[in-house]
Structure 1
């Protein structure tokens, strides 16, 4: 079973995080919700607190198949500021392991130089932080092993793209139909 780590920092966009976690679990992925805080509780951008499954420092990344970053401006900035997460993202990229980010969070990849020569999307206004990327107006973009999404309204489609990456289009489409998304 594929294992995906969804990282939450204070200020995360709740719709994005919960939609991604829910869709991936429906698709029978093993999803770890990772707190980037000093406690298991993480406060969202709209005052919704989520209890994570594990702390960043307790997660064994050798068992993780993909790192996913929900957006929210403050959440994305807090993710970007975490040096340990930056190292894990760079290690994943060097190993061609998949990475995903939605809304403002693709700025983390852009500021690490991972989008050079790739196509990506993000929440409007953050394009300048996707350094070296060809900016797409599409709502969800896969460029090699990196998936980016535009924002909260496409979180389910973003998650279904991750399902498609690992389990194929037919499985993703079937799940989307069951959820009345496609």
Structure 2
């Protein structure tokens, strides 16, 4: 079974994180929600507290994972961007050509990891100037090789669909669309 990490930091955007977790699990993609602190309880940007499956210090074998996902939200994206272990994990996954995905303000984490230079990306409006060296696009979801980015909370479903398409193929993405009455 394919498996990914969804990083959670204080102030994460709940819709962006939990929609992705739900939809990936529906299509048999294992997801570990990972707190970047020593506390499994992580409060989102809108005061919804989530119990993460793991803490970042529990992540020691990246070979078990096929990718990592960065939700947006403030100050969640800043907290992820400023976490050296998150940056290290994203850099390794990118080097190993594994999927790295970020939504909303999340692409600032990819910028810090140095993995979007020359790549087509998108983000929440207003973050484009923070994504130096990338090719910025005002599209709902942008995929460039192993990098997937999206603009914001209303696009969490489209973001999840693109991740499923990348990891499990078009057929599984279409199944999800049918399952959730997307069409």
| TM-score in terms of structure 2 length | 0.96
Q: Is 1:129 aligned with 2:125?
A: no
In the alignment, what sits opposite 1:21? 21
Q: How many angstroms apart in 1 are the aligned matches of 2:26 and 2:149?
A: 21
Q: How many angstroms apart in 1 are the aligned matches of 2:122 and 2:177?
A: 22
SS of corresponding position for 1:160: helix
Is the 1:11–1:45 Cα contact (8 Å) retained in structure 2? Answer: yes
1:99: Cα distance to partner? Answer: 0.2
Is the 2:40–2:52 Cα contact (8 Å) retained in structure 1? Answer: yes
Q: Is 1:105 aligned with 2:115?
A: no
Aligned residues: 182
In the alignment, what sits opposite 2:55? 55
- Structure 2 stretches lacking a partner, 5+ long: none
The list of structure 1 runs, each at least 4 consecutive aligned residues, that deviate by more than 2 angstroms after superposition, is: none
1:58: Cα distance to partner? Answer: 0.5
Q: How many angstroms apart in 2 are the aligned matches of 1:163 and 1:89?
A: 19
Is the 1:113–1:131 Cα contact (8 Å) retained in structure 2? Answer: no
1:170: Cα distance to partner? Answer: 1.9
Is the 2:66–2:99 Cα contact (8 Å) retained in structure 1? Answer: yes
Q: How many angstroms apart in 2 are the aligned matches of 1:180 and 1:31?
A: 23
Is the 2:71–2:102 Cα contact (8 Å) retained in structure 1? Answer: yes
Is the 2:87–2:112 Cα contact (8 Å) retained in structure 1? Answer: no
In the alignment, what sits opposite 1:45? 45
In the alignment, what sits opposite 1:120? 121
Q: Is 1:93 aligned with 2:76?
A: no
In the alignment, what sits opposite 2:167? 166
Is the 1:113–1:132 Cα contact (8 Å) retained in structure 2? Answer: no
| TM-score in terms of structure 1 length | 0.97
1:130: Cα distance to partner? Answer: 1.3
